[in-house]
Amino acid sequence: MSQFEHVTVLKKANVYFDGGVTSRTVVFADGSKKTLGVMLPGQYQFTTDVVEIMEITAGDLLVLLPGETEWKPFTGGMQFEVPAGATFKVDVKTITDYVCSFISVS
Amino acid sequence: MSQFEHVTVLKKANVYFDGGVTSRTVVFADGSKKTLGVMLPGQYQFTTDVVEIMEITAGDLLVLLPGETEWKPFTGGMQFEVPAGATFKVDVKTITDYVCSFISVS
């Protein structure tokens, strides 16, 4: 799937780490939300509110998932999942394009 | 208008200038196209294919429009228009969030 159809896109960008990470919020008809983001090379730490599925569209990065001690490599076409209320780190080697899905359990 | 509804968003990011400028392409029901972009501080030169209307959502930049010799300041809430087939330069002072509308005349 190369595009998301019948969605709402928020006009305002989400900007983190002085622009090292930026994203746009996309809302689907069912109310679910994804962000389409770009991470420039660098190390960043994130904390999740809900479960997040990070799908790497393009790029090259190392990820330290919660509770793990080993950084694992990810490239375009791969994805990883992070539990709610958890912290993970990324070490972005080349510009990384991603889709983050937020999974709210109600 | 803080969001665009009933649109298609391309999953893949547009990346220019080593990530200094990135954007996402949004396609509207009538086939018209906008990009939602972020420019990090720096100087960039662009050449248009069609008329472009650049609406600054947030940020602070100087713009050298085609045929002009004076850089003019723009901030959030302002916009400028560039003719088709023209070159313009921007000198981004703080992270700039923009919406670019592409006006094809058929």
Domain that holds residue A93: 8-103
Partner-chain contact A11 B26, CB within 8 Å: no
Work out the average pLDDT over A10-37.
Answer: 97
Q: Would you tell me how many other CB atoms lie within 10 Å of the CB of residue A50?
A: 14
Query: For position A106, what pLDDT does the model report?
Result: 63
Which whole-number Å values give the CA distances from B98 to A10, B11, B36, B74, in the listed order? 12, 18, 6, 11
Partner-chain contact B11 A5, CB within 8 Å: no
Task: Write out residues 59-88 of A within 8 Å (CB-CB) of B.
Answer: none
Work out the average pLDDT over A48-58.
Answer: 98
Work out the average pLDDT over B24-45.
Answer: 97
Work out the average pLDDT over A45-57.
Answer: 98
Residue A28 lies in a domain: yes
Residue B1 lies in a domain: no
Residue A15 lies in a domain: yes
pLDDT grade, residue A8 (50/70/90)?
A: very high
Work out the average pLDDT over B36-51.
Answer: 98
Query: For position B106, what pLDDT does the model report?
Result: 63
Residue B2 lies in a domain: no
pLDDT grade, residue A27 (50/70/90)?
A: very high
Residues of B in contact with A99 (CB under 8 A): 11
Q: Which residue on chain A is closest to B35 by alpha carbon?
A: A11
Which residue out of A2, A12, A27, A94 would a mutagenesis test of the B interface target, given it has the greatest number of B Cβ atoms within 10 Å? Answer: A12
* Percentage, residues of chain B above pLDDT 70: 99
pLDDT grade, residue A18 (50/70/90)?
A: very high
Q: How far is B104 from chain A (nearest CA, A)?
A: 22
Q: Which residue on chain B is closest to A13 by alpha carbon?
A: B97
Query: For position A1, what pLDDT does the model report?
Result: 76
Query: For position B105, what pLDDT does the model report?
Result: 74
Chain A contact present for B58, CB below 8 A: yes
Q: Is the pLDDT of residue B46 over 80?
A: yes
Number of domains, chain B: 1
Partner-chain contact B11 A3, CB within 8 Å: yes
Residue A70 lies in a domain: yes
ipTM score over 0.85, yes or no: yes
The partner residue sitting opposite B36, judged by closest CB among A2, A11, A97, is A11
Query: For position A105, what pLDDT does the model report?
Result: 75
For chain B, the average pLDDT equals 97
Query: For position B104, what pLDDT does the model report?
Result: 86
Q: Is the pLDDT of residue B41 over 70?
A: yes
Residue A1 lies in a domain: no
* Cβ–Cβ < 8 Å for A102, A84: no
Residue A40 lies in a domain: yes
Continuous H helices in chain B: none
For chain A, the average pLDDT equals 97
Residues of A in contact with B28 (CB under 8 A): none
CATH number, domain with residue A32: 2.60.120.10
**DSSP secondary structure of chain A:** --EEEEEEEESSPEEEGGGTEEEEEEE-TTS-EEEEEEE-SEEEEEE-SSEEEEEEEEEEEEEE-TT--S-EEEETT-EEEE-TT-EEEEEEEEEEEEEEEEE---
Query: Burial level of B45, CB count in 10 A (0-12/13-18/19+)?
Result: exposed
